[in-house]
A and B are shown apart, each in its own frame.
Chain A
Amino acid sequence: MPKKQRILIVDDVPDNIHVLMDILGGDYVLQAATNGIKALEFAQQKARPDLVLLDIKMPEMDGFEVLKRLKANKETETIPVIFVTALTDVFDETIGLELGAVDYITKPISAPVIKARVKTHLELFAHKQALEMKVKELSLTEDELRKANERLKELDKLKSMFIASMSHELRTPLNSIIGFTGMMLQGVSGELNEEQEDNLNRVYRSGQHLLGLISDVIDISKIEAGRIEVFPQHFDLKELIGEALELIQPQADKKHLVLDLTASSWPEMFTDRKRLLQCLLNYLSNAVKFTEQGTVRVIIQELNGDVEIAVSDTGIGIAEDGIPKLFEAFERLESHLQIKAGGSGLGLYLTKKIAHDLLQGDVQVVSEVKKGSTFSIRIPKAVRLSSEDTEVISS
């Protein structure tokens, strides 16, 4: 059995109260007040009425005033009020409803009408309350979700920072390994026989490979944590491309690949030179890795304020279904060549991150199996500086 609902009857004439009590008795918990002050008191007690039946013409304080005060109080403003009155003037009814009464019943009253209206308004009120409760719960849940989400983002940043600083610690001893191996390979500590040189070369190459991986992890973690800075500078794109090609030339020579360059113009750049070079070297070394014969071509184009640098190869190409995954972390396509070529599986992901998050541009790829691939990066010629950015360094 649900709890009986409470009705407060307010009338200065006890007979009128008794009539209503007779009609409603049994179905509800009834309470009566013979004046406005008493009524307000009852309305504010802990067991609040679910409905008030309110007479208008009363000495001292009339029903309109009682309603106004109920509405003015946060605790009682939602309690539905029905006027039960001898005033039949439409004008009074209008005032009553405008003040916020849910209904207006005129005397003499009819028992079935009273019963039906009371029932309807109580139901409405109960539904309204249930609805309000739901909304409240939902907004609480939403609040919790938002907080949890913020916390997760915070933790994700912490994770990235942890990885970045951890990796940084790994780099220091690794630099010693590479440094000293490199020094011995230079013959600084004495002549090496063929086998010793080969051994050291293997240590050196593995060290360089590991260093590359660690550097990629550091860069990605820092970008993800929003802790990497852009160092824009003015530079000549032609000279940057020249440097990239020069660095990749030995690898291309080993495979007898032709390096080629096409440029419609050479824009003046103002962006993070080192990061752009990093992206280009990544594209170029991939192109050389996955091309067995033919040409690796760099193509420069200016497109309204942007510059697009494309690296096009005549290599193995990528199947259509592999393309969407290319720029994701740790996505390496299954291929004999790919495994042979090594790499971290982070290079393209990092390139995209740099292009997107640091250089304010984007990356793109077009590819055809057995014909070759074209990877491009499109960035603004001049990076847009926000007030938070660091000072500009000139080259």
Chain B
Amino acid sequence: MTTALVIEDNEDNMVLITRLLKSAGYQTLEAMTGLAGLELAIAEQPDFILLDIQLPDIEGTEVVSRLRTTTEGKDIPVIAVTSYAMAGDRERLLAAGCSGYIEKPINPMLVIDQIKRITGE
């Protein structure tokens, strides 16, 4: 079974995305801060990570950069979740090692397809 790690600080968003993922047959791991997410990623090595870019502790880009320096986490695909207001950051996100991004707010009708397109499933 494919495991997704969701790093997201907004509870509603977390519930929404994890329920959608579960219903599509994914297993989910949850972290509400960047540091907790990093720890979980290294310990559990999920198949991919959905990463909110605005987090309370460290920036999403920082999470990716740090993850890329670890042997356990350097190859895990990371999908950034960003709002359009941060469009200028996208190139930086891709440069930091994200595989792609999903626009916020997520669209429950489309999000699973968007994820599959990025992870290449």
Where the two chains meet, the residues of A that have a C-beta atom closer than 8 Å to any C-beta of B are 172, 175-176, 178-180, 182-183, 185-186, 188-189, 229, 231, 274, 390-391, 393-394
Contacts and interface: CB of A to CB of B under 8 A. Distances in A.
Contact of B91 (A178, A274, A393): A393
Contacts of A186: 20, 23, 108-109
B3 to A, nearest CB: 19
B90 A189 contact: no
A182 B109 contact: yes
Given A186-B23, A231-B88, A394-B91, 7 more contacts: A176-B16, A179-B13, A180-B12, A180-B108, A183-B20, A186-B20, A186-B109
Listed residue (B10, B84, B107, B108) with the most chain A CB atoms within 10 angstroms of its CB:
B108
Given A179-B105, A179-B106, A393 B16 contact: no
Contacts of B66: none
Interface in B76-121: 84, 87-88, 90-91, 105-109
Contacts of B84: 274
B74 interface: no
A183 B88 contact: no
Given A229-B88, A231-B87, A393-B91, A176 B108 contact: no
A189 B18 CA distance: 12
A179 B16 contact: yes
Contacts of A179: 12-13, 16, 105-106, 108
Interface string B1-18: 000000000101100100
A183 B20 CA distance: 7
Contacts of B20: 183, 186, 188
Nearest to B108: A182
B109 A176 contact: no
A219 to B, nearest CB: 10
A4 to B, nearest CB: 74
Interface in B7-35: 10, 12-13, 16, 19-20, 23
Contact of A188 (B13, B23, B88, B90): B23
Interface string B34-69: 000000000000000000000000000000000000
A178 B10 CA distance: 15
Contacts of A229: 88
Contacts of A183: 16, 19-20, 108
B19 A189 contact: yes
28 contacts: A172-B10, A175-B105, A176-B12, A176-B16, A179-B16, A179-B105, A180-B12, A180-B16, A180-B108, A182-B107, A182-B108, A182-B109, A183-B16, A185-B108, A186-B20, A186-B23, A186-B109, A188-B19, A188-B20, A188-B23, A188-B108, A189-B19, A229-B88, A231-B87, A274-B84, A393-B87, A393-B90, A393-B91
Listed residue (A274, A391, A393, A394) with the most chain B CB atoms within 10 angstroms of its CB:
A393
Main secondary structure of the interface of B (DSSP, over half): helix
Nearest to B12: A176
Contacts of A188: 19-20, 23, 108
Contact of A391 (B10, B16, B88, B107): B88
Contacts of A393: 87-88, 90-91
Contact of B88 (A172, A178, A185, A390): A390
A212 to B, nearest CB: 13
Nearest to A392: B91
B94 to A, nearest CB: 10
Nearest to B22: A188
A262 B108 CA distance: 35
A390 B106 CA distance: 26
A189 B84 CA distance: 29
Nearest to A171: B105
Contacts of B106: 179
Question: Which 5 residue pairs spanning A and B have beta carbons closest together?
Answer: A182-B108, A175-B105, A188-B23, A176-B12, A183-B108
A119 B3 CA distance: 104
Nearest to A181: B108
A180 B13 CA distance: 9
Nearest to B106: A179
Contacts of B105: 175, 178-179
B108 A274 contact: no
A183 B10 CA distance: 17
A103 B12 CA distance: 90
A182 B20 CA distance: 10
Listed residue (A172, A180, A188) with the most chain B CB atoms within 10 angstroms of its CB:
A188
Listed residue (A179, A182, A183, A391) with the most chain B CB atoms within 10 angstroms of its CB:
A179
Contact of A274 (B10, B16, B23, B87): B87
Nearest to A168: B85
Contacts of A176: 12-13, 16
